[in-house]
Amino acid sequence: MSPGGMAMITPVTGRVGERVIAYLDHLSRVEGRISRLIDGGFAVELRNTVRKRDKIANVLTWLANRDELNLPEDRRHDRFVPKNPMTKMILPDGSEHVCRIIDVSLSGAAIATDIVPEMGDAITLGKMHARVIRRIEGGIAVEFAAVQSRELLEHHISAPEES
């Protein structure tokens, strides 16, 4: 992978020129078009903003060097566990499901759930609007529609305590 393209090994193939959207760990959403077919998959020419290309370059550099330089995890915001980690998740079809917040940051959260929405689905977590950005072991990771304050998150992300 480079800031301008990537090779994808996949069980299915596409056609040259076909649009591809992928959700990748550390990079979130990347988009492009199939530029050529390769053995076991295809090559994608990424079509992202200059800002996104710069982010990809920075993340790829960090990934390449983190072990040798003993670099810390690259997180935009510190993570914490809310006082009440239990909450409800509302899916696009309106169904509600109880889930547990593994951890949360000002920009997103990791959720323990047996219900796995589709990548990119808009959901509500407590009272917070979020988008599913990846699957994790035992659940999903979501990104909030906007960066939040810790106080607002504590108040709006957890289900109200039963009295």
Q: Is residue 75 part of a domain?
A: no
With beta carbons less than 8 A apart as the criterion, state whether 104 and 81 touch: yes
Q: What whole-number percentage of the chain has pLDDT above 70?
A: 87
Instruction: Give the whole-angstrom CA distance, residue 7 versus residue 34.
Output: 9
- Structural domain total, the chain: 2
Residue among 50, 42, 53 at smallest CA distance from 19: 42
Looking at residue 68, its pLDDT comes to 64
Q: Is residue 59 part of a domain?
A: yes
Q: Is residue 74 part of a domain?
A: no
User: What would the pLDDT profile of 13-50 be if each residue is shown by its tens digit?
Assistant: 899 999 998 887 777 788 999 999 998 899 999 998 88
**Taking the model in full, what pTM does it have?**
0.52
- Structural domain boundaries, residue 123: 86-157
Stated as kind and residue range, the H or E segment containing 8 is strand 5-9
- Claim to verify: residue 39 and residue 11 sit in the same structural domain: yes
What is the rounded average pLDDT of the residues 54-59?
84
Q: Is residue 117 part of a domain?
A: yes
User: What would the pLDDT profile of 104-135 be if each residue is shown by its tens digit?
Assistant: 887 788 999 999 899 899 999 988 889 998 88
Residue type, 79: R
Q: Residue ranges of the alpha helices (H) in the chain?
A: 50-69, 150-157
